[in-house]
Structure 1
Amino acid sequence: MPNDEILTVKETATLLKTTRQQVRKMIANEELPAVKVGREWRVLRAGIMEFF
């Protein structure tokens, strides 16, 4: 899968094997880089790799 793939909060939670609520907390705490598109957050797969 390409690193420039854009993931939803749900897809990110599945990838990290955690809850959507935990992903939102990580975004709010700026632990996970994300962009708000309308009312929804989007996370770049590359940002998840940076997190690790």
Structure 2
Amino acid sequence: MNRLLTVKEVAVLLQTSRVQVRRMIQSGELAALKVGREYRIPLAALEEFVQAAICE
């Protein structure tokens, strides 16, 4: 099973704010699942996001 990260964990990893992570989710830049009221980001989705940013 793929590990799911919280918005806070992703913000720490990307060295940005939780608000910015939520904006990236809302804009479709970063794939996420809504679990109840919270978002969870699959580790694979974060890896794809970083890889795409590196290749630009």
Identity, in percent, stands at 55
Query: Unmatched 5+ residue regions in structure 1?
Result: none
TM-score if structure 2 supplies the norm length?
Answer: 0.83
Q: State the SS of the aligned residue for 2:34.
A: strand
TM-score (norm: length of structure 1): 0.89
The unaligned stretches of length 5 or more in structure 2 are: 51-56
Higher relative helix content? 2
What's the RMSD between the two structures over aligned residues? 0.6
2:52 paired with 1:25: no
| Rg larger in structure | 2
Q: Distance in 1 between matches of 2:3 and 2:45?
A: 10
Aligned residues: 49
Over 3 Å off, 4+ runs: none
